[in-house]
Amino acid sequence: MARMMRTLLLVSVLSLAACGGGKQDDPFTADMKMICDAGKGHDDVPPELRRIEALRSIAEKVKTAEAARLMASFAQVAPAERGALLAPALAKAGIKRCALFADWQ
């Protein structure tokens, strides 16, 4: 009986691990992932319109004030300054590369 209980416990733990353990991103990290993915799936649209669609999507979906401020700042700084602006936010979210931002630098 004890062996069966250990087996069930092990199966449960492995199932949780396989599903990501139920760990969810904090709201800022979720926003940053959403922002970085906003330009995907619109390859048939010209680049300038793709950016407009991405910004529209971000504006509709952003949940944190911090990510909203970052996007506002990103639009206002010179392209040469964008990397320095983004680096701390991407590091905080654990994101190594953001395709959307890379396209705009």
The model scores a pTM over 0.75 = no
Residue 73 within a domain? yes
Residue 49 within a domain? yes
| 31 touches 63 (CB < 8 A) | yes
Q: In this predicted structure, what is the pLDDT of residue 22?
A: 55
Number of domains making up the chain = 1
pLDDT in tens, the chain (105 residues): 555 444 433 344 444 444 445 578 999 999 999 999 987 877 788 877 888 888 899 999 999 999 999 999 988 999 889 889 999 999 999 999 888 877 665
The conformation of residue 20, written as its DSSP 8-state character, comes to: G
Residue 59 within a domain? yes
Q: In this predicted structure, what is the pLDDT of residue 8?
A: 38
Backbone angles phi, psi at 5, to 5 degrees: -65, -45
